Structure 1
Amino acid sequence: MKTSNDLIRSVLPFVLLLFFIPTANSQILKKLTKKAEKAAERTVEKRVEKETTKKTDQALDSILEPGAKGKDKKKSPPTSGENPSNTSSNSGGENPTGPKSITVYSKFDFVPGDKILYFDDFSTDFIGDFPSKWNTNGSGEVVTINESPQRWLGILPGYNTYYIPDVPALPEEYTIEFNLLAIGLDAKTSSTATLQIALSDDPNFKRGDNWVHAYIPFCQYGAIGIRMRNFINKGADGEINNVVNADLRTAVVDQPHISIAVHKQRFRLWVNEKKYVDIPRAVPMGSVLSTLKFQLTSFKDGKEQLFISNVKVAKGGLDLRRKLLSEGKVSTNGILFESGSANIQPRSMGIIRQISQVLQQDGAMKLLIIGHTDSDGDDTANMALSKKRADAVKNALITIYKVTADRLETTGKGESEPVADNGTTDGKAQNRRVEFIKQ
């Protein structure tokens, strides 16, 4: 027969177990809740990362030889977008150029300058070298990606690291264009990951006393916007420090084209076909912002990478309509084509749109459209290509802007009438042009 002490010893463990069960259950529930929260966070991160990775892959697929990505992917290498006289066949490129793409750009109002001051696609540089027409206080190298012939300058992050193209002193009115390729962006990319585009009165590696900065954001977990800043006489009245609303998360992983127009104090900026910034008095009045600089910040070294190419600076770019009306002719190298083809790159539509506006204003005007190429490739092939390109511009005026066909004639001059030295990159860019002559 058990004693009372024996009973106590037998029952006590069960009593204690009952006492601790609620506490144990509470701790277990807390742990499960925390695990569920973490799992949910991981799921959200994975989904965001999956979407951004998908966009990055799409951007890469559009410019690279995809190799193992599958036989249904495009196999053609990319074009530089600025070397349309190369007669090799190519159906790739940064944007498809079917009617849908061109229609999207039909209201694009950026017009590049008509006198090229600087152009670099790194075609004359050795792979692995820092480009000969740039300067930096950091490091960088010209690269190709996979089997694409397109060359890029890979730039590195740093709060005091600048990349400065050898652009001549900037005039009062000019345009800037370039392509970007970002790799490795995901949901953890910093909200301060930006490319700073700077116009400065300092020709070296400092901000200077007067400057204008535009910050292109690469963050993927939120719409950060484009930050605009200026500095006047080391901070006098009139300083701008503002964030312009813009959701560029999709654009920056899809090889964006950046366009900037500066006309005296006015500063405008487009990403692809959309204008995001138009500030009438951003550039300090009376100061000479002679130098263009790039600076990359908050990219994770080795994981997130940024590349730049097809950097073009041109004088002018304000209004071709007045020149056509007053002088009866206008020549432009801002209408770009895919390499070796007559497919118009959609971002060229700003110029074609202006030409259509002149034709709408003067209902009796007729135009001759003349295509020109540089000297790369076969003479006969270039002659035929230049005519096809003039025909493509005519077709865009007819189909997009409803100009009647009987008001437009076309011809091609190939490489027979150069306006600059075909032995240089800048000269070739000037020779690739389209002329409009009033009849």
Structure 2
Amino acid sequence: MRTTVMLSIAGMLMLPNAGDAQILKKLEKKVERKVNQRIERTTDKAIDKGLDKVEGSVKESAKSKKAEKTNSPISPTMGSTGNYASSKFDFVPGDKILFYDDFEQDAIGDFPVRWNTNGSGEIVTLKSQDGKWLKVPDNTISFPETNGKLPQNFTIEFDLLYPVSGQRPPVTFGFSEVSNPAKNTIQHKNIFYFLIPTSVKQFIGYSSSLYSGRENTMEWAVDKMKGKKIRASIAVNGNRIRLYMDEQKVFDLPKGFDNNAYRNNFHFRASPLIPKPTDAFYISNLRIAETGKDARSTLLKEGKYSTSGIYFATGSAQIKPESHGVIKEIADVLKENGDIKIEIIGHTDNVGTDPSNQKLSEQRAEAVKTYLSKNLKIVEDRISVSGKGASEPVADNSTTEGKSKNRRVVFVKK
């Protein structure tokens, strides 16, 4: 545009007496300056108008979203933020529990009985969080004693938290060899790991060997997660491994688990990349489970599907977001088979009184029904609910694993 305008104006001001080339040259320069100034003023005005329009649209959009959030209904089954898990969250926990520990049976200040370490660590409570947590200090490997190899298909879930203040070591968790799986002896070489360097860079990554120089990373807003409980979920299906942080799928590696040695051990490590860290990271509610029959085939062929993979807040019927994948599987069965009706039966462990557990089991069954109807569009008339409290345990309530198995939801085809 500038070139075209300059040529047009210069042609209009061409002098009849061309002998004074110097004057013409000065005039051309003056014209060029004036034109440039006018173009810049015009352009600035156009940009300002455009920016005003965009800014107005952004403000209106923000107001609209705020109003939408304010006016959106919050049911008892929703999380504290009023949000359900993303429909893209396809993680489904394994149904056969191999290891579970929430550290409730361990004393504060002790290292957990069912774990091993090459250094130190202790059970603590945190002001901002419920329950007990294992503190994993700098340059320490800690891992659960699973007493055998992990199966071909399994899932691992745990809560992860690192503090707001203090110099924190990078968080490492993943899979490594042990020199004697039967005795759970520790071998320091990591074969596979995920890394969240909380004080180094804002990324999360993985590698086939520690410090190999072949790490693969992606940006991860580490600082925004400080002081917040993160639910990490890992699914292994043969050679495929997927990692989810909260409801976000971070990695999906079709051949990432191609070495059988990875199945020897799952560990946590506070990597010694930061000199003299003043704090640690914390983990809780570790659940390792084998993936067996899927909900679809079990419910259709056997008429009954039981799962401990639907999670509720402690002593509550509030469904946690990580339960979405399991409930969605049930919804898919109902959508594909329009003539099927189901009964949802809630079960609890034996913590609390019989009347309170009976009421809680009924409320949890009702919460699952509400989730299916309101969020996954299943007609309520196809679903009935009941509760059994703690009256029909499937495992020993004196153990942590037993309690986790007894906290279950059963779907029965009608």
Q: How high is the TM-score relative to the length of structure 2?
A: 0.74
Distance change in 2, residues 1:326/1:414 (3 Å): same
Alignment of 1:291 onto 2:265: yes
Cα offset, 1:146, TM superposition = 3.7
1:37-52, aligned counterparts within 5 Å? none
1:192-220 per-residue CA deviation (whole Å, 9 max, x = no partner) reads x4221121231432245x83211123248
Question: Could you tell me which of 233, 237, 241 is aligned with 1:267?
Answer: 241
| Unmatched runs of 5 consecutive residues or more in structure 1 | 1-94
1:33-432, aligned counterparts within 5 Å? 97-98=79-80, 100-102=82-84, 104-146=85-127, 150-158=131-139, 161-169=140-148, 170-185=150-165, 193-202=169-178, 203-207=184-188, 211-219=191-199, 223-224=202-203, 226-230=204-208, 241-287=215-261, 289-297=263-271, 298=273, 301=276, 303-316=278-291, 319-432=294-407
Cα offset, 1:149, TM superposition = 5.6
1:300-345 per-residue CA deviation (whole Å, 9 max, x = no partner) reads 6563331111111111168422322332221111111111111111
SS in 1 for 2:388: strand
Distance change in 2, residues 1:243/1:151 (3 Å): same
How far apart are the structure 1 equivalents of 2:224 and 2:293?
29
Question: Could you tell me whether the CA contact under 8 Å between 1:387 and 1:410 is conserved in 2?
Answer: yes
Which deviates more from structure 2 when the two are superposed, residues 375-384 or residues 316-325?
316-325
Question: Could you tell me whether the CA contact under 8 Å between 1:228 and 1:244 is conserved in 2?
Answer: no
**Runs of 4+ residues deviating >3 angstroms:** 104-107, 146-149, 244-249, 285-288, 298-304
Distance change in 2, residues 1:387/1:340 (3 Å): same
Question: Could you tell me whether the CA contact under 8 Å between 1:122 and 1:309 is conserved in 2?
Answer: yes
Question: Could you tell me whether the CA contact under 8 Å between 1:370 and 1:435 is conserved in 2?
Answer: yes
How far apart are the structure 1 equivalents of 2:225 and 2:340?
39
Distance change in 2, residues 1:377/1:301 (3 Å): farther
Match of 2:73 in 1: none
SS in 2 for 1:127: coil
> What RMSD over aligned residues (CA atoms) do the two structures have, in Å?
2.6
Distance change in 2, residues 1:147/1:176 (3 Å): closer
Cα offset, 1:292, TM superposition = 0.9
SS in 2 for 1:353: helix
Cα offset, 1:105, TM superposition = 3.5
Cα offset, 1:358, TM superposition = 1.2
Question: Could you tell me whether the CA contact under 8 Å between 1:171 and 1:315 is conserved in 2?
Answer: yes
How far apart are the structure 2 equivalents of 1:300 and 1:412?
54
How far apart are the structure 1 equivalents of 2:78 and 2:282?
21
| Structure exhibiting the larger radius of gyration computed from Cα positions | 2
How far apart are the structure 2 equivalents of 1:168 and 1:403?
42
Aligned residue pairs: how many? Answer: 330
How far apart are the structure 1 equivalents of 2:330 and 2:78?
23
1:394-417 per-residue CA deviation (whole Å, 9 max, x = no partner) reads 000000011000111111011111
Cα offset, 1:148, TM superposition = 6.2
Report the AA paired with residue 82 of structure 2: K
| Unmatched runs of 5 consecutive residues or more in structure 2 | 1-76, 179-183
SS in 1 for 2:162: strand
Question: Could you tell me whether the CA contact under 8 Å between 2:176 and 2:261 is conserved in 1?
Answer: no
How far apart are the structure 2 equivalents of 1:294 and 1:366?
44
How far apart are the structure 1 equivalents of 2:291 and 2:226?
27
SS in 2 for 1:289: helix
Cα offset, 1:242, TM superposition = 1.6
How far apart are the structure 2 equivalents of 1:295 and 1:343?
32
Sequence identity of aligned pairs in percent? 40
Distance change in 2, residues 1:291/1:346 (3 Å): same
Cα offset, 1:97, TM superposition = 1.4
1:381-438 per-residue CA deviation (whole Å, 9 max, x = no partner) reads 1111101100000000000011000111111011111110001011000000001111
Report the AA paired with residue 265 of structure 2: T
Report the AA paired with residue 167 of structure 1: T
SS in 2 for 1:218: coil
Match of 1:435 in 2: 410
Question: Could you tell me whether the CA contact under 8 Å between 1:107 and 1:353 is conserved in 2?
Answer: no
Distance change in 2, residues 1:343/1:149 (3 Å): closer
SS in 1 for 2:126: coil
